[in-house]
Structure 1
Amino acid sequence: MTQTDFGALMGQSLRWVQDVEGGHRQRDPRLSVLERAARVLQIRLEVLLSDAPAAQCVDSVELGAIRAALQDHDVITGTADDNGTAPLPVATLDRRLVHARAAFQAGHFASLGRLVPKLLADTNRATACHAREEDRLASARLLSLTCELIEAVSIKFGDTDLALVSAHRAVAAAELSGNPVIMASAARHLADAMTLHGQPHAATRFAVIAATRLESDLRTRGADGLSVLGMLYLKAAMAQATAAASDDTRAAAAARAVPELLDQADEHADELGADGNALWTAFGPTNAALYRVAAHVSLSQGADAVAVAQGIPDPARAALPKERRAHLLVDLAHGLTQAGAREQAVDTLLKAEREVEEEVRCRPRTRQLLEDLRLLGVGSAEKRLQALAQRCGLLE
């Protein structure tokens, strides 16, 4: 927002805005002025009142914009109006998708709230309007991957309804593309969304059936194929771990299935031969180990989670995308908390914050862990925990 636009929305002059930003006016402004500024900027009032730098989080406004884009008539029906506007070239859309996926893996989640609605509209229009079949199929591939990205962002910020809708859209676009790698990739995102939406048994069935039906085709697609195949088993394992943590009558059977599914993923990781990032999966032996840590945490096996995490070589961990590194540290903090090592859990969260602020300060799951640690007590780490909680906006 320009200074001129901000001034107009505040009912003030450009000079007034410049003076405020330069610290020459309103050193102790009236609350009504701050409240109006917060509404104009669409941020929380406490962000303006806090001395702590605020992490940029995807907020309700941005999630609302993403939801509106998914609910657009053209996106739902896979059509586009004939307004004479040519669809964007596939190469242009591909560059934009690569930029957005790179932002996610770097931990810049907030930027995606602005990037993905336009990308969704443009990839949908390209899928509907390109004259050449080759371009339409390539656009459908990009549309599916864009919907996957929306699912991943929605999961980060706790909107499981939005995640489920976007994952279903991803599967539909993947089927349209006719590409088995994209079909498998979309299937693993839908399994993830189903799990977090309270449907872990259905998620397991969906992921395993997709893996079984697509395996022969995926094995002919090199690293891309093996990576998405392995990820399907990892998502199935997490679905079973979630089911095992419930009061479901099938919980015990689900718990027994977790190591089998993880072992299946390990086999594909070993077959791949090295860590990689084919189709932004970060799949390989190291990421498979990360999922094993997460599964132990879901099963409340904190000591086992810590042991697996500590067994991951530092160079392998350092080579992962930042989002994966921060995710591992947060899972390790959960495991340490379960194992009673709460001071270490706080220090591990601080390491995660240094990796990706948004993974700690914005994600509901991590903020809940902070609240739990505050209730449990963390001994000598109390001041560090309080400072982190303040940065996360959890303290008045």
Structure 2
Amino acid sequence: MDARVIGRRIAYWRQHRRLTQSDFGALMGGRTARWVQMLEAGERQADPRLSVLTDSARVLRIPLERLLEDDPETATVDAVELEAIRSVLLRHDVVTGCSDDDGAGPLDVDALRRRVAHGWDAFQAGALAGLARLVPDLLIEANRAAARHTGEDQLTAYRALSMVLCLTEATAIKGGSGDLAHLAGHRAVIAAERSGAPVIMATAARHLADAMTHHGQPVAAAEFAVAAAARLTPDLLRAGPEGLSTLGALYLKAAMAQATAADQRDTRRAAAAARAVPDLLGQADDYAEQLGDADHNRLWSAFGRANIALYRLATHVQLAEGAEGVRVALKMSPADVSSLPRERRAHRLVDLAHAHLLAGQREKAVEALLDAEIEAQDEVLRRPRTHQLVQDLSLLGAGSAEGRLRALAGRCGLPE
């Protein structure tokens, strides 16, 4: 393994752990910042001693293999943080919904709602690294509140618990863990049903459909989302903007699931899935029209005309229709783009990069990725999905953008 590659990986994980070179050196047994600089530059020695790498992995709290393997998976939510979330989801009190034996009382429901809102605001701002450390405690607090409160406060706590589990699902997707997202999505639906709130039920159903799609079950995901929409439509239409937003968002997830289902060996079923996508997006269009110019981010759905355009772009990419995807993305007005949360704006640029790659426009793909990095750094530097795109571009070549692509790969912790 090239010492420079190992050095870049050490630098990546040091920055991810929010350690300065001086801090890292101190934890490595009193090494100087200059020593760390040389280690990260691959200048300490041609073949770093195993003891140095073992100590580095220990300080950085990662498996040694992360520094040595040929194709490391580097994510916003790393293996340690994902495991912390998984451990909480598998706790007896969280699985059963019973009260834990902690002596602390349940969090006041208003305080709980504020904490949930803070988590979702962080997600939409693209602050994913810190969010992964917030989720485990928030899960415990929300579960405790749902178990110990009574009456209307308990129903409110179940709504908050479902939204925390939806946030957990979304965080797991960002970290590339479809199985963890699937688990959290199931739990979100159960908590939502206990809450008795149709808009929360629809929100949880949307997240479970998303998790099912990422867990290799796109056909079931589309069916689930459409069934949830059919069941909840009367209640959601009476719920005003929140109801319209969550209903429309269900059809967006169904459309994405069908686009994913189109990538299967059975050509007849694949064609049928692809044909279903425009109708599902059309359903979402209808609800966006009814919503009008109302707040487009009810329950952090970002639902509205702009987000529908993002899903059109994403489905074109999934269907390998690069030129059509580029057309949809570039047709969006600056006002529409700026109306979206930061996470959505960065997501649009990453999907635009995918579309450019499919259309054979590799230099433009690199430009779109660099723009996405400026918009929300974590969406590019620490997502497995984006890393794969960077690696694909590196293999195919990016012409005059080759140097910028190599630099981006280095910032992602990937081999240049």
Q: Quick one: distance in 2 between partners of 1:96 and 1:178?
A: 21
What code does the residue aligned with 1:355 have?
E
Question: Retained in 2: the 8 A contact 1:56–1:110?
Answer: no
Structure 1 position 141 matched with structure 2 position 155: no
Q: Deviations over 1:213-255 (max 9, x none)?
A: 1011011111111111000000000000001122234111111
Structure 1 position 271 matched with structure 2 position 290: yes
2:145 to 121, 126, 146: 126
Secondary structure of the residue that 2:129 maps to in structure 1? Answer: coil
What code does the residue aligned with 1:170 have?
A
Q: Deviations over 1:1-44 (max 9, x none)?
A: 999x999976x5xxx58xx46x6999767854564244123158
> Which runs of structure 2 are paired with 1:1-40 in the superposition (5 Å)?
16=30, 20=32, 32-33=51-52, 35-40=54-59
1:216 to 203, 227, 234: 234
Structure 1 position 246 matched with structure 2 position 246: no
Q: Deviations over 1:330-376 (max 9, x none)?
A: 10111111111111011011000111111111111111111111111
> Segments of 4+ in structure 1 off by > 2 A?
5-10, 23-35, 43-48, 81-85
Q: Quick one: distance in 2 between partners of 1:293 and 1:254?
A: 17
* Alpha-carbon offset, residue 84 of structure 1: 4.3
Structure 1 position 97 matched with structure 2 position 97: no
Distance 1:196 1:81, change over 3 A: closer
Match of 2:397 in 1: 377
2:85 to 66, 71, 75: 66
Distance 1:99 1:82, change over 3 A: same
Structure 1 position 176 matched with structure 2 position 211: no
Distance 1:226 1:255, change over 3 A: same
Secondary structure of the residue that 1:255 maps to in structure 2? Answer: helix
Equivalences, count: 382
Match of 1:348 in 2: 368
Q: Quick one: distance in 2 between partners of 1:69 and 1:368?
A: 29
Q: Quick one: distance in 2 between partners of 1:106 and 1:227?
A: 20
Q: Quick one: distance in 1 between partners of 2:52 and 2:394?
A: 34
Q: Deviations over 1:86-105 (max 9, x none)?
A: 11111111111111111110
Return the TM-score normalized by structure 2: 0.86
Structure 1: 5+ residue stretches without partners? 49-54
Match of 1:152 in 2: 170
Structure 1 position 299 matched with structure 2 position 346: no
Question: Retained in 1: the 8 A contact 2:116–2:160?
Answer: yes
* Alpha-carbon offset, residue 315 of structure 1: 1.6
Secondary structure of the residue that 1:58 maps to in structure 2? Answer: coil
What code does the residue aligned with 2:76 have?
C
Question: Retained in 1: the 8 A contact 2:218–2:261?
Answer: yes
Distance 1:44 1:219, change over 3 A: same
Q: Quick one: distance in 2 between partners of 1:183 and 1:266?
A: 21
What code does the residue aligned with 2:139 have?
L
Match of 1:363 in 2: 383
Match of 2:12 in 1: none
Which piece of structure 1 moves more, 268-277 or 61-70?
268-277
Q: Quick one: distance in 2 between partners of 1:289 and 1:174?
A: 28
Q: Quick one: distance in 2 between partners of 1:175 and 1:310?
A: 40
Distance 1:244 1:83, change over 3 A: closer
Return the TM-score normalized by structure 1: 0.90
Q: Quick one: distance in 1 between partners of 2:349 and 2:25?
A: 42
Match of 2:350 in 1: 330
Secondary structure of the residue that 1:310 maps to in structure 2? Answer: helix
Q: Quick one: distance in 2 between partners of 1:8 and 1:391?
A: 24
Distance 1:164 1:24, change over 3 A: closer
Distance 1:273 1:26, change over 3 A: closer
Structure 1 position 308 matched with structure 2 position 328: yes
Distance 1:350 1:172, change over 3 A: same
Q: Deviations over 1:290-347 (max 9, x none)?
A: 0000001101111111111111101210121110000000101111111111110110
Which piece of structure 1 moves more, 32-41 or 348-357?
32-41
Q: Quick one: distance in 2 between partners of 1:280 and 1:45?
A: 38
Q: Quick one: distance in 2 between partners of 1:381 and 1:87?
A: 54
What code does the residue aligned with 1:267 have?
D
Question: RMSD between aligned alpha carbons?
Answer: 2.6
Q: Quick one: distance in 1 between partners of 2:360 and 2:52?
A: 46
Question: Retained in 2: the 8 A contact 1:105–1:322?
Answer: yes
What code does the residue aligned with 1:268 have?
Y
Match of 1:165 in 2: 183
* Alpha-carbon offset, residue 137 of structure 1: 0.6
Match of 1:52 in 2: none
Q: Quick one: distance in 1 between partners of 2:320 and 2:37?
A: 51
Q: Quick one: distance in 2 between partners of 1:237 and 1:56?
A: 26
Q: Deviations over 1:247-300 (max 9, x none)?
A: 234111111100000010011111111361100011100001100000011011
Match of 1:196 in 2: 214
Structure 2: 5+ residue stretches without partners? 1-16, 68-73
Q: Quick one: distance in 2 between partners of 1:273 and 1:118?
A: 38
Q: Quick one: distance in 1 between partners of 2:36 and 2:244?
A: 60
Secondary structure of the residue that 1:111 maps to in structure 2? Answer: helix
